[in-house]
Amino acid sequence: MSAAERTGCFIALEGGEGVGKSTQVCLLAEALTARGKQVVVSREPGGTPGAEAIRELLLHPPGKGWTAEAEALLFAAARADHVARLIRPTLEKGIWVVCDRFVDSSRAYQGGAGGLGDPAIRALHDFGSDGLRPDCTILLEVDEARLAERLSARDGSASDAIGGRSADYHRAVAQSFRRLAGADPQGFRIVDGMGTPFEVHERILEALEPWLAAANGGLK
């Protein structure tokens, strides 16, 4: 399904740990609804019963935990189910999808910080989800000091297997996101995540203006 064949708009919010994505996903969905759009909110890993079950395996792995390759495959499997059973059918009905994380999280975490490389993650996504891309990926960024503050505030007590990785791993995630966004200025909008939730929300709406304008013009 190409972007031209679907009618709903697909927006993903990305970023490292604790940049405020979940709050922004809710605020964005409310704003879109207020503008008369039908909106479905989802998240990754998760969004369907199968993908939510895989989420539990990923964030709270049994035994010794997954190898890097197994982890990437599980994220891709969860995403394949989510795309086939929820995201594509929703977009085909003309409904907007706002998703808390999507494939660029796999590219930044498993491909970049995890060392598997971008071609491997893209190949899994091509196979699992026919390479579906969001119409726009919003990358929420906070500065280094804020990232360090948030990572140290966790004090080693992060509740899941990925959030609990080292500060170096999370710094590498942030760098990978920045690289991905820099290499694809059409597909990404980098939004400053510093400030109040409302200030950040206003920046996100501004970044999405071209898609909102296209929708108002009857294109979506």
Return residues touching ligand TYD (CB under 6 A). 17, 21-22, 44-45, 59, 75, 101, 105-106, 109-110, 160, 162-163
Q: How far is the CB of 163 from ligand TYD (least distance, A)?
A: 4
Q: How far is the CB of 170 from ligand TYD (least distance, A)?
A: 9
Helices (H), the chain: 21-34, 49-59, 68-82, 88-92, 103-106, 118-129, 144-153, 167-183, 197-207, 209-216
Q: Which two tokens stand for residue 23?
A: 């709050």
Q: How far is the CB of 132 from ligand TYD (least distance, A)?
A: 14
User: 10 or 75, CB closer to ligand TYD?
Assistant: 75
Q: Which two tokens stand for residue 103?
A: 């494939």
Task: Report CA-CA distances (Å) from 24 to 50, 72, 122, 165.
Answer: 25, 26, 27, 24
User: 8 or 16, CB closer to ligand TYD?
Assistant: 16
**Best CA proximity match to 102, nearest among 131, 123, 127:** 131
User: 24 or 90, CB closer to ligand TYD?
Assistant: 24
User: 22 or 175, CB closer to ligand TYD?
Assistant: 22
User: 7 or 22, CB closer to ligand TYD?
Assistant: 22
CB under 8 Å to 122, separation ≥6 — which residues?
107, 131
Q: How far is the CB of 92 from ligand TYD (least distance, A)?
A: 23
**Best CA proximity match to 1, nearest among 77, 87, 61:** 87
In contact, 190 and 14? CB cutoff 8 Å: no
Residue nearest to ligand TYD (CB): 109
Q: How far is the CB of 95 from ligand TYD (least distance, A)?
A: 21
